[in-house]
Amino acid sequence: MKVSQLTMNGERTVIMKHLTTYQGKKVLVLGLAKSGVNAARLLRKLGAQVTVSDVKPLAENQDAQELQNDGFTVITGEQTADLLDPGYDLVVKNPGIFYDVPVVKRALADKVPVISEMELASEVAEAELIAVTGSNGKTTTTTMIQKMVDHDRRAGKAVYAGNIGIPASRVAQAVTADDTLVLEVSSFMLVGTTTFHPHIAVLTNIFSNHLDYHKTRENYVAAKMKITANQTADDYFVVNFDSPELRELSEQSAAQVVPFSREARSQAGAYELNGDLYFKDEKLMAASDIKVPGDHNVENALAAIAVAKIKGVSTAAIVAVLRSFGGVRHRTQYVLEADGRQYYNDSKATDMEATEMALKGFTAPVVLIAGGLDRGYTFEKLVPSLKAHVKAVVLVGQTAKLLEDAAKKAGIQTIRLSENVETAVPTAYELSDAGDIILLSPANASWDQYPNFEVRGDRFIKAVEQLTGKQEEK
């Protein structure tokens, strides 16, 4: 059965799978923001009796106010265990809420199912699902896959959603059987899944992340592996074979394992060999022709190639995407070229590891703009990367002096301090020569001067546009 409903602006939202599972069920949605709001609205369409709870006070909570005006039962303030007193059949939890908060602990103790918005979305989506997880590279890989699978498509469209910033439960209602839904899925989302079943699952890598949430690395790995838990022999599991751990983990999957490897550890899938990218026996392109720099982006590209080839995407389409894709916004994003200088926005680099990775992606000399919130650590770890890749630095924010010390230890002679990212751009230009890279990769959070890394990156791009008289390439 298909259900359609006209929205206020006249557009038609379609729930392609009408589930009776939630009809008449009492559901508590914990945590709002985009995922909670969309989950609540979807659950109501599916016939559930929905109560929403958010810690932010009602007077300051626009999402809660709008839901209340639309007739939802809304509870704001501390999420204590007695929230469950009315009795609920299900809890849909915002991924960011820890499992050890009282209300969630009680739900689990009372055997009330606790799921994520991603689980709900996957149940109603008519489209084929491709899901991407991993400690790093999820967003870039998800975007590459979407662009490849959508390129020269004859029927339907490929769209992305999920942890990439677009609520999966909203998009899942609008896609049809002709479409492909590419989902970026975090470990937080995967913990709350039981039936989640992508046709193609991708695991980019696993590091020791989010242990405050998962408590142990074993729990974190188990969460990641839920991406393939419900797959069958008719499905595909795309895995990074450069990691011995992931090679071993792939044996747990019932799906067809398709490896990717920058080190050519396997030639049964996508791999790099002698500077070229292959899928099985077919050479596709030179790795150096990928527009976004860095070995990590070669890995992301190989994962995307594997998925695209499974989907029957042509080599020409794959190459066209990789040669033109300038990166995800704020993640080593190519901005533009002017006067022989290339400008890159890596504002998402809020720690030293991310800046190290960005610097390793460049062979040309780099003029680096860095600095931001002081979290109480120094930057000795950055010294080798600064020494190897950076000709000059322009430093901003609370950590400018600390980064100056690291730059001096790296032997960098040209060091300038600037008021903020906007004033740093013309200074970086003055210190550069034709052929150089001008890179914003702060190695710090933005909160000393900007509300978030997105605003910081946007300000950088605007300053570059004002300096060069050119527009950001998209």
Query: What ranges in 277-335 are assigned the alpha helix state H?
Result: 295-310, 315-324
Is 243 within any annotated ligand binding site? no
Q: Is the dihedral of CA 25, 30, 32, 38 positive or negative?
A: negative
CB atoms within 10 A of CB 414: 12
3-state class of 199 per DSSP? coil
Is 140 within any annotated ligand binding site? yes
User: Contact 75/50 with Cβ under 8 angstroms?
Assistant: no
Single-letter amino acid code for the residue at 405: D
Residue 104 CA to residue 83 CA, distance in Å, equals 10
Least Cα distance to 301 among 134, 130, 148 occurs for: 148
Residue 84 CA to residue 78 CA, distance in Å, equals 13
Residue 269 CA to residue 317 CA, distance in Å, equals 18
Residues in the chain: 474
Is 77 within any annotated ligand binding site? no
Residue 464 CA to residue 455 CA, distance in Å, equals 14
> Residue 260 CA to chain centroid, in angstroms?
20
Residue 358 CA to residue 202 CA, distance in Å, equals 23
Is 136 within any annotated ligand binding site? yes
User: Contact 130/175 with Cβ under 8 angstroms?
Assistant: no
Least Cα distance to 417 among 435, 396, 436 occurs for: 396
Is 93 within any annotated ligand binding site? no
State the binding site: 134-140
Binding residues for ATP, by number, are 134-140
